[in-house]
Amino acid sequence: MDQRLTMITLGVRDLARSRKFYEALGWTAREAGGGSIVFFQLHGSVLGLYPRRELAEDAMLPDDAPNAKFGGTALAYNGRDKAEVDRVLAEAKAAGATILKPAQDVFWGGYSGYFADLDGHPWEVAFNPHWPLEPDGSLKMKDVP
């Protein structure tokens, strides 16, 4: 198996509402399946939005969304500097996100905060001075001090 992540699919409660949220962040949506799934081309991967109940059914898992608080997963957006972290968190809040943790200097030497999208999926927005972004915006791991 190659070491790569090509797509993340989020199970959402209201597909149209979630699509509008990500479009409010400036992302461009593409529909498939007659509008039953929405895709966003990311830098080298794809984010998919799919009705939560249908995603659970497809994976043959129970959908316990009303009881779920945290699914043990966080998505991440790395910025080029602290100002970009602050800007992205502000854009997310303006689009309807809930700020879970305001941006702050963190123990590992970076700067990060968290927001939750409309379905509660947590996103970390971080600046990591140890792993600067490549000129094309990709992230490549470097040695950590």
How much is the pLDDT for 143? 66
Q: What are the extents of the domains in the chain?
A: 1-58, 74-136
How much is the pLDDT for 59? 74
Give the residue ranges of DSSP H helices in 27-100. 52-58, 82-94
Q: Are 1-58 and 74-136 the same fold in CATH?
A: yes
Per-residue pLDDT of the chain (145 residues; tens, 9 = 90+): 777 778 999 999 899 999 999 999 999 999 888 888 999 999 888 999 999 888 888 777 777 755 556 666 789 999 999 999 999 999 999 999 999 999 999 988 999 999 999 998 999 999 999 888 888 888 877 765 4
How much is the pLDDT for 60? 73
How much is the pLDDT for 144? 54
Could you give the C-alpha distances from 13 to 49, 51, 62, 106, in angstroms and in order?
A: 10, 6, 15, 32
How much is the pLDDT for 70? 64
Its sign, for the CA torsion 118, 43, 23, 59, is negative
Class of domain 1-58: alpha beta
How much is the pLDDT for 79? 93
How much is the pLDDT for 107? 86
Class of domain 74-136: alpha beta
